[in-house]
Structures are given as structure tokens and as C-alpha cells.
Chains A and B, each alone.
Chain A
Amino acid sequence: MARQESDLTYKSIEELAPLIASGELSPRDLVQASLDRISQLDSSLNAFLDVWEEESRTSARIAEEEIAAGRYLGPLHGIPVGIKDLIDVEGTPTTGGSKVLAQNIAGSDATVTAKLKAAGAILIGKLNLVEFAFGTTGVNPTTGDVKNPWDTTRITAGSSSGSAAAVASGMIPAALGTDTGGSVRMPAALCGIAGLKPTYGRVSRAGVLDLSWSMDHVGPMTRTTEDCALMMNVLAGHDPRDPASSSNPIPDFTSEIGKGIDGLKIGIPSHYFFDEFVDSEVLASVRSAINLLEANGAEIIELSMPWVGKGRPINFGVLLPEAVSIHEKMIAEHADLYTPAVRARIQSGFNVAAIDYVRAQRARQWFNHQMAESMSNVDVLITPTVPIQAPTIADCTPSPENPGAGSELPMFTGVFDVTGQPSHSIPCGFTTAGMPVGMMITGHPFDESTVLRVAHAFEQLTNWHQMPPTDIPAPN
């Protein structure tokens, strides 16, 4: 069942922006619709940590006045956007979903926050997450677990759990997430939305709590690929506040999105991503999607990548010592305020030898070389986003008997945090249990445009991205 056109809260930015620009839709009405949907659902989904009702109404009124006065700022003007609570918004708490930072008030905006404000977006509130983004499931004993709108007994995945649930359930059309091992793409996949991890350095990390300096990414989460492109047009760009920020030219991410896939070469890894350990229903959906792209003009090329399974160990091997270093002072002073599972993850890295970290960084360079060689004759890779179906929250609640809960989730996504390539998840089908399946499209560094072009073409051929979640009530 495709969503109903009358549902304002399920409309995409590409649908809403022309209505706002023309004055047909008031930002005040749109923001109120978002607030109503949040009020209707969030007591059950737990996506938001903080909702800024009065501030967002004020911002919407100002947006309406600016637009009426002929000062329309572009497609995000008047659009409600949620912010993962890892990202600074001046004058509001940035807690990282942890008791440790419960009193941490941001002194200034993160660069991405400032860019959204300058584009006229209405910041609607802070979104729930895994504590300090150090986890994959969306389970957080401090802030409460985020529920999957497709089945509220199941996880959203994480760490951008609130971002995915809020967008998927129609509370907001767009949110910011962060991705170090897959934290944008995994929850996008399990909640049936689009989530883009841009090329490392493409979007500033300034004002965002760190997890791993050399692999942290900020990216958009929306209901369509075109909306991710619209968000990227605002978010991307060099930032002197971020030492890893790239000076590469910034394209218009929407300019090539409608060019189709005729003649594009899509690489399909013959190792790892399609192996027997991957859930059969996930494999069937992704293979069906690949067949559809081939039938519509793409050339499919099988790629031998026997080394690619090393990507996830390298991802974790680089991440862990960097996370330990970032948390060293806080965990010494406030160990009792961390949740036990996250404390154990950080402390488990205390005795990693320096030589092992250097080995991991050398292995990363080796891995990047292998990936560039393998992709030299294709435009993008297509793989499943996660290898399993969404588990239940009960199955993912850490316990002494189940310390590795959720460890399979980042097996595929973490590979592309190592390489820093642009990598995008979109829905490509459903399991027999009615849960969304995600397909991951990964491109060459700084070539988000081709990734978005392939994903957009797929969305024009299917309506998976238009399905409304089935375990939540329709909008009032």
C-alpha cells in the first residue's frame, strides 16, 4: 500500500518545497503537523529526547514572513528537521544519549546546524541514539530504546536510531545522523528510509561529539534519495573548523540525479556480501533489485573481492583505540555514569597495543588500495546494507549471556567507513515478517552524484520507499 497523498507528514521535501515556495503551504502548518505527529507517536517510539515546540513554531512564523516578503531561501526553507543528539545546537543540551553529558549545553552551533539554520530549516528537536554513538542496535538503557515503526518489538538499529524512527514514521521529513561503522545506513535499512554516508571530509564534523576522528561522518536521513541530495546541497562544503574537511569542489547533488542508469556499470562483489551467512530473504530482495537495474540499462559486473571481509575488523581496529582516547578523561572521572555495555566496549580497548593501532591504519591503506583497484572498471557497488533481518529489542539487550548483541549489523556498512567512500542505503523490499530490507549503493570517493543517480533511478522503478510503516497509527 503506497502512502496517501493527503498525509502531509509523509510528504518528501521535494514535494513540500514547491508548496512552501508558492505560499500554498504555510511552514506554520507543516511544523504543527510534525508536532502533532510527534505527540501522537513518540510516547511509543521514543525517537525524540527533546522537542522544541515553541522555538520551532517561532521559527516557522519567521520563515512564513520571510517567504511572503520574497526572501525564499531554497528547498529546506520551512522544512522541519531533527538533529541527532550528538550534534551541537547552541544553547541546548548535547548529551550523546549519556548521563555523563546530561548538563552539557552547547556554546555554539555545529557547522551542519548552522548550515541548516541558514538554509531556513526548522529545527524541531533532538533525536535519541545509542550512548555516544558507540553501538549498533538502538538500545540505550539511559534514554530508553527506540522502537521500529514497522514492528515496535524490534530494533531500529543504530546509532542514529531516533533519526530513522522519526523520519520513517512521518514525524519529520529529514534528520541528521552520524556514521562511523554504519550508524546512518543500518537504521535507514531497518526502518525503510534513505540514508547517505557522504565521502569522508565532505560534510563537516565540527561541533559533533567524536567517536573516531578518522572515520566519523555526518549524513542526511530522509524518505527519498532526492531529499538526501537536497540536504547535501546545504550540508556539504569545506570547513576550516574540521581538520579533515575536504576542499574538493561541491557539485549540485541534484543536477545528475535524473539521468538514469543506462550505461552505468554496477559491480557486484562475489565474496562476503552475498555469502551463505546472509539472510536468504535479504539476499533475494537485493538480487531482485539488481536484476531490475540490469533490465533497465545498467551493466552488471561481478567482482572478485576475496579480501573484502577484512574491512570490518579494520573498521573496529581503528575505531576502538580512537574511542578510548576520546573517552579517556571522561571515563576516568565518570565511569559510573556510563551504561555498563558502552563502558565495557570502551574499556576493552585499554590494553590495545600501539603497534596494533598502527597495523590497523596500515591495513586500512592496504584495504583502500584493494578497493580502488577492484572498482576501477565500475561506477558503483551494490550490496545488502545489513546481513540480517531486524532482531527484537529483547534479543539485543546486552547481558552477560549476550555480550555481542547486534555484532552482525555493521559487517557490511563498516567496510565503507574504512574507505571513506560515499555509501547510501535505500529500501528494496520486505521480508515475510513485513520488515524493510536495505540495499547499499557505494561509489567512488567524492562521487555521491552517481550513487544518488542509481538510487533515484531505482526509486522511480519501485515504490518500496513510499510504503507507510505498519505498526503505528495513521496520522490523525
Chain B
Amino acid sequence: MKPSDNPQHFSDRAQEHQLVISAEDAANIGEVGASVASTYAAIRQIDTTGFEPAAIFVPTPSKRKDD
């Protein structure tokens, strides 16, 4: 079992990242968690070589106020 499949470990890991979740809630995620795992498994199979992330920061032009 991966740590993220264990409700207590899931809860502990989330709380390490300051995301509050009870062990009971973590246990109830169940099938939804499986769906999340399969989503990212499908994404990992895609060869994205040569592609940057879609969300790229573009600076907004600005200057000193008294210019």
C-alpha cells in the first residue's frame, strides 16, 4: 500500500502541507482517490517533450508613478 492510500498517512501528509483533513475524511475519499490516481497516471503517459506548461506568467508592463 502506498502511503497516500492509507487514511492516516494521507491525513498526516496533508497536514504536513497545512491542508487540514481528518483521518475519517481521508478514509472516506476511497473511490474518488482512485479516480484521481488514474487521472494523473493517464497524464504521465503523455510525451510532453517540447511543450511548456499552458499557464505561463506574462509580466504586466509598469513603470515608476512619477515618470
Which A residues contact B (CB, under 8 angstroms)? Answer: 214, 310, 313-314, 316-318, 320, 324, 328, 331-332, 335, 340, 343-345, 347-352, 356, 358-366, 368-369, 400, 403-404, 407
Q: A361-B53, A365-B48 are in contact. Are A407 and B25 (CB under 8 A)?
A: no
B28 touches A404 (CB 8 A): no
**Among candidates B20, B31, B40, residue contacting A335 with C-beta atoms closer than 8 Å:** B20
Bound-state Cα–Cα, A314 to B54, Å: 11
- What sequence of 0s and 1s flags, for each residue 55-67 of chain B, a beta carbon within 8 Å of any chain A beta carbon? 1000000000000
Bound-state Cα–Cα, A375 to B44, Å: 25
Q: List 21 A-B contacts (CB under 8 A).
A: A310-B43, A310-B46, A313-B38, A313-B39, A335-B21, A335-B25, A340-B28, A347-B21, A348-B29, A348-B32, A349-B36, A350-B13, A350-B21, A351-B4, A351-B10, A356-B43, A359-B44, A366-B51, A403-B31, A404-B32, A407-B35
A residues in contact with B28, CB < 8 Å = 340, 344, 400
Q: A313-B39, A352-B40, A359-B40 are in contact. Are A366 and B20 (CB under 8 A)?
A: no
CB closest residue in chain A, given B40 = A356
Main secondary structure of the interface of A (DSSP, over half): helix
- What sequence of 0s and 1s flags, for each residue 1-43 of chain B, a beta carbon within 8 Å of any chain A beta carbon? 0001000001001100101111001101111110110111011
Residue total for B at the interface (Cβ-Cβ under 8 A): 33
Q: Which of A331, A356, A363 is the most central at the interface, judged by chain B CB atoms within 10 Å of its CB? A: A363
B residues in contact with A345, CB < 8 Å = 32
**Among candidates A317, A335, A404, residue contacting B43 with C-beta atoms closer than 8 Å:** A317
B20 touches A363 (CB 8 A): no
CB closest residue in chain B, given A368 = B54
A residues in contact with B40, CB < 8 Å = 313, 317, 352, 356, 359-360
Given contacts A324-B19, A347-B26, A362-B48, 9 further A-B contacts (CB under 8 A): A313-B40, A335-B20, A335-B21, A343-B25, A344-B29, A344-B30, A348-B35, A350-B10, A365-B53
B residues in contact with A363, CB < 8 Å = 43, 46, 48, 51
Bound-state Cα–Cα, A343 to B28, Å: 10
B residues in contact with A361, CB < 8 Å = 53-55
A313 touches B42 (CB 8 A): yes
A366 touches B48 (CB 8 A): yes
Minimum CB–CB distance from B20 to chain A (whole Å) comes to: 4
A347 touches B25 (CB 8 A): yes
